[in-house]
Structure formats: structure tokens, C-alpha cells
Structure 1
Amino acid sequence: MNRLQGKRVLLTGASGGIGRAVLKQLSASGAEVVITGRDQPRLKMLAADAPEQIQTFAADLTDTANLDALLAFCQQQGGIDVLINNAGISQFSAAAGQQLTALINTNLLAPMLLTQLFLPMLKQRNGTILNVGSTFGSIGYAGFTGYCAAKFGLRGYTEALQRELADTDMRVLYLAPRATDTAINNTAVKALNRALKQGVDTPEQVANALIEQLISGKKRRFLGTAENIFVRLNALFPSVVDNALGGKLKQIKQHFIGTGVKNSAEV
């Protein structure tokens, strides 16, 4: 049985690479989807290309008034059963130049506030929350200090919420993609990934994993074999990862010199 057939899903960051791939699979599964982002024309284009009817709502997720309006819109549409917090931005640069307010507000505070707003509705419907994190939510990485801080926070928030709602029929899930070939990574990041021979997934691979997790209900999923090993090593023996990444530090810094914030299309 398709557990997504007829389910109402709110997807943030639908206009980004991962978001577009997830939307395509949700539509194919028979889910009824509301997509949100800042760019209404882009949202309309996505909805027009989808095989099923898609509802759109333009919103800046860092604006609390916009969040309240989004909740009201979804209530008018009949509510939601699934919330997918996928929107995000990244920055690859020295710590001194990080745009921390934007990184924390978009990657951490916005999904927390959105979850808080929709939680009463989702509890009534025995719903599901899926937060899209990152490998960098478990491993601190030079050049991504603000992004790592936000994703570490999102992982902690998700874990705490899982445990708080353990006595309910709600599901709270966390997906941690590794490097993915989307616009969230600027040319410097892509060059670094090539130089370090790091594995990079396609948006479709991440979307496949996300849909599988929604169906299975697995609480945590980390993509990439090597990344999984590093996550476990970092938790148990952080000095091993210190040494491994320390050996790459000069190369990492050479790539982030002169780079700035990169807002992904997932916002």
C-alpha cells in the first residue's frame, strides 16, 4: 500500500534541486502537495509542470507573519499530514566573514517555528515531520561554521522532539544528505569536492532516500557510506576526525578564500 497516496504534504524549498526532485516523487505517489518559497513565479512554474494539482504559497520563512499566513492557507486547504522542512542556504568562507543571522534564521529557526506552528494540526492527524539536515549536522567542517552550527542545532531539535513525542503516534524524522549537486553549492565548493574526491549525490538520489524514509518511518538516515563512518567516528573518537580533516585544512582554505554567502534555490 502506498502510504503517501492522498496525504497532504507541505514542502519547503521546493524550487531547489532537492525540492524539485522530491516534489516530482510526491506527485507521482499521489500525495496532495503545498509548496512554498519566496519566488511565486517559480512556484507557479513548478506547479504547472507537475502531473497532479499542486498548491503554491509564496512566503519568506524567516518572517513570522508569513508563517502565520502559511498556516492559515494550509488550514483552508484542509490541513496537512506531512511537513517536510527542506529549505536552506549555505556559505563557504572563513568564520570571520560568515553571515550568521541569515544562516541560523533560515536553516534552524525557520523550521523550528514552522514545526511549532503546525504541531497541533499534525498531532491531531498522527502526522509526520521530516527535517532535512546534513552530514555537517554531525561533523564540524572548516569553511562551514555557520551552516554546521545551524544543522547541528536542527539535528538536536529533531532528536529532542522525537523523544518528546515518543508517546504519540506522530513520526519525527531526520535525513542527513551528504554533498549534493545543487545550486546550494557554489563553484568553490564543487571544486573542493572534486579536489578531495568526495562523493556527491544527485538530487534524485536524495529524493529517493527521502521518500523511502517517509514510507518506512526510519527515524534517522545518513547518506553516504564514508560519511556514515565519519559521523560515527566523530561521535566516538573526535580526535581521529580532527587529524583527518587537519591534513586537508590547507587545501580547504585555498578554496574558500574570497568566497561569500550562497543562497540556494531551496529557500
Structure 2
Amino acid sequence: MDVSNKTVLLVGATGGIGAAIAKQLDQRNAYVLLVGRSEQALHALGASLQHQHSLIQADINSVEGRQQIVEQCQRQAIDIYINAAGVMDFQLFSQQDSDRLQQMINTNLLSPMLLCQLLLPLLTQKSSAAIVNIGSTFGSIGHPGFAVYCASKFGLRGFTEALQRELASTGVQVLYLAPRATRTDLNSSAVNQLNEALGNSSDSPEHVALAVISALKGNRRQQFMGWPEKLFVRLNGLCPNLVHGALVKKLPIIFRYANKNSE
């Protein structure tokens, strides 16, 4: 799907990846409904774009916030829903705060699903529409220190795959894009140090945003970013013991930075 002249709902617009997607959509003459929790961040993002777009200050984790978003979408007849909302907490599961655990599950999985359900009547009445969920490599590989984050992204991947098949007879494309480590404020300093210690490469938000545009244009139902991350995803599916052994060997490094993150 070409995004030019389309109306796009972008949830998580003020995050690193979300803001980069907003700029790519703006450059391609899409009209964007920018959703975020911070009024100040939304206005700053809106001011950075070439064209005028709708700013929606709403929390997708609340019933009221989701309803506010849907009412705006009903008025403006969206063509595309992009879910870029996400939070991450690098912590050993035994030490993780229960409130933070619930926030990750809600923000990364449950609330996007609930919002998507409300939007389906609007999207399925279109001859051509799209849903894009931004997942993660960790939605396919269980990684120590990220148990709950992995659970939320595994769930989002499964939800997307099932919805792709459920809506196959409609005009709605359902896409899943899984970035690897990305240089955004989502990462704590401990996560950045861990990636450096493990030799993990990372991408810019702009690189991920371009991949979103490309996935929409090519109707790529499932796309994983980065090398060797793509290989590890396949290996974990076919030979999980190989990936298990490799990650277990790295536990001392992972524990070192996870403990530092809890200090």
C-alpha cells in the first residue's frame, strides 16, 4: 500500500520509532493522527513536521483514551493503523516490580489489541486498509533479563499472525515488523551497556521507519530486521537448543548489567 494521501493513525507517535515514522509519513503526504500521552511532546512533534496533522493526547491503556482515539478515527476515516506504542524494562524477572510488569503487558499487548478490535469495523469497510504492529526480535527469542518484554512481544506477534489469517478474505493487510536493538530512549543506560558488552548492533529509528514504509508498500506480512538477528530468529524456531546454549553462556554478562540496572 502506498501511504501517499492516506489517513494514518499512529499510536506511540512521540517515541523514537514513532516520531521517525511520523516524519516519513509526513514527507509522503499522508495525513496522520498522532497519538501520545504527553501534550508537550505531541506539539513538539507536530511543529517538526512539514504539514499539519491531528494531535490526540490519549492513553491507550485507559478505556477513555481508546474511545477518544476511535471517535477521532470515525470522523476522519482512517486507512492505516500503525501501533508503535511500547515500553521496556530490563530486569531479572525475580526482581521485577509488579506494576512495571503489568504496564508492559498492557502497553505492548493488551491495549493495542483492544484498540485494534474497536478499529476493525472502520478498517474492514474499506476496500483497502492496513494494520501494522511494531514488534521486536525479542518477540521470537526469549532473552534473559527481558522475560516480560519478550512475553508481550511474543503475544503481539501471535496476535498479528492470527489476525492476518482471520482477515485474509477482507481488504485489510495485517503486517508485523520486528526491529532489532534500536537507538531510542526506550533503552536504559544498562541496556545500552549490555548491547555494547555483547557486541549487539543497533539501528536508527529512521532505518526502522523506512522499513515500515517498505513493508506497507510490499505487503510484507512478517519482516525481521538486522543480521545476524534474522538468522537467530530462524535458528530459535528450528534448533532452539543452539540459541539456548549461546545465551546461557552469556548469563554472567547479562546478570552483571541487570543487577546494575536495579541499583
In the other structure, the counterpart of 1:249 is 251
Q: Which whole-Å CA distance do the structure 2 matches of 1:59 and 1:91 have between them?
A: 22
1:40 to 2:39 alignment: yes
Q: Secondary structure at the match of 1:22?
A: helix
The amino acid that maps onto 2:117 is Q
The answer for unaligned runs of 5 or more in structure 1 is 261-267
1:69 to 2:68 alignment: yes
In the other structure, the counterpart of 2:179 is 177
In the other structure, the counterpart of 1:79 is 77
Q: Which whole-Å CA distance do the structure 2 matches of 1:228 and 1:63 have between them?
A: 35
TM superposition shift of 1:70:
1.1
Q: Which whole-Å CA distance do the structure 2 matches of 1:52 and 1:215 have between them?
A: 22
The amino acid that maps onto 1:94 is L
In the other structure, the counterpart of 1:49 is 48
The amino acid that maps onto 1:93 is Q
Q: Which whole-Å CA distance do the structure 1 matches of 2:227 and 2:183 have between them?
A: 17
In the other structure, the counterpart of 2:153 is 151
Number of positions where the alignment pairs a residue of Structure 1 with one of Structure 2: 258
Confirm or deny: 8 A CA contact 1:27 1:51 kept in the other structure. yes
The alignment-based identity, stated in percent, is: 48
| CA displacement, residues 216-267 of structure 1 (integer Å, 9 cap, x when unaligned) | 111010001201110001011110001010110110110010425xxxxxxx
| TM-score, L = length of structure 2 | 0.96
In the other structure, the counterpart of 2:89 is 91
Confirm or deny: 8 A CA contact 2:190 2:260 kept in the other structure. no
Confirm or deny: 8 A CA contact 2:139 2:153 kept in the other structure. yes
In the other structure, the counterpart of 2:7 is 8
The amino acid that maps onto 2:44 is M
In the other structure, the counterpart of 1:111 is 112
In the other structure, the counterpart of 1:263 is none
2:226 to 213, 224, 227: 224
| CA displacement, residues 93-130 of structure 1 (integer Å, 9 cap, x when unaligned) | 11023221111000001110111010110011131000
Structure 1 runs, 4 residues or longer, greater than 3 Å off: none
1:120 to 2:92 alignment: no
In the other structure, the counterpart of 1:238 is 240
Confirm or deny: 8 A CA contact 1:130 1:173 kept in the other structure. yes
Confirm or deny: 8 A CA contact 1:93 1:258 kept in the other structure. no
Q: Which whole-Å CA distance do the structure 2 matches of 1:66 and 1:12 have between them?
A: 11
* Aligned 1:21-40 pairs, distance under 5 A: 21-40=20-39
The amino acid that maps onto 2:236 is N
| TM-score, L = length of structure 1 | 0.94
TM superposition shift of 1:73:
1.6
Q: Which whole-Å CA distance do the structure 2 matches of 1:56 and 1:74 have between them?
A: 12
In the other structure, the counterpart of 2:168 is 166
The amino acid that maps onto 1:108 is L
Q: Which whole-Å CA distance do the structure 2 matches of 1:45 and 1:251 have between them?
A: 38
Q: Which whole-Å CA distance do the structure 1 matches of 2:152 and 2:95 have between them?
A: 16
Q: Secondary structure at the match of 1:259?
A: helix
Q: Which whole-Å CA distance do the structure 1 matches of 2:71 and 2:51 have between them?
A: 22
